[in-house]
Structure formats: structure tokens, C-alpha cells
Amino acid sequence: MTTYNFTTTLKPYGDAPAAGILEIDPVALYGYFEMRDGSEGGGLWFDRNESGALRVIDYDAVFELSTAVIKALDAAGIDTSDI
């Protein structure tokens, strides 16, 4: 079983207790997200771009990532150009 150390936490839907969350383990190059109500979500996979920044290379469980999730990733300096 893989153990992750989620050191990056983003809140794409705000700080409300019921708002979804996005967490990233930058060493394992893996993360996950939960939707606004916390009921659904999926995985995020990363690699590093030419400058060494995290870059999203894949995700699952939804047809496309929500605008809020993409904006939160972009604001954290994570490259979303390949999704």
C-alpha cells in the first residue's frame, strides 16, 4: 500500500467547512481533489516541466476538471497546459 505525504493543500471552492479540497504529494507526484460538497473527486498525476515546476499530466473520475480546480492549480504555480 502506498502512503502519501500531502504537503500542499488547495481550497478551490473556498474555506467553508463543506467546500471541496485538493491535496498534493509533490514527491510522489500524486494528488486528489474532492468536489464542492466533498462527495466526489478523483486523482491527479504530475510530472515536472522544464523549469522543475509540477505539471498535471493526467486525472481521473471526471470528464474534465472544474474551472475552480484548474484556477487553484494555476494560482499555486502548477502547470495545467497539458490538460
Structural domain span for residue 47: 8-75
Counting the structural domains of the chain, the total is 1
Predicted local confidence at residue 27, as pLDDT: 95
In a domain, 31, yes or no: yes
In a domain, 53, yes or no: yes
In whole angstroms, give the CA distance from residue 83 to residue 57. Answer: 7
In the chain, which residues have pLDDT < 50?
none
Predicted local confidence at residue 38, as pLDDT: 61
In a domain, 46, yes or no: yes
Predicted local confidence at residue 63, as pLDDT: 83
Predicted local confidence at residue 46, as pLDDT: 97
Predicted local confidence at residue 82, as pLDDT: 84
What's the chain look like in SS3? CCCCCCCEEECCCCCCCCCCCEEEECCCCEEEEECCCCCCEEEEEEEECCCCCEEEEEECCCCCCCHHHHHHHHHCCCECCCC
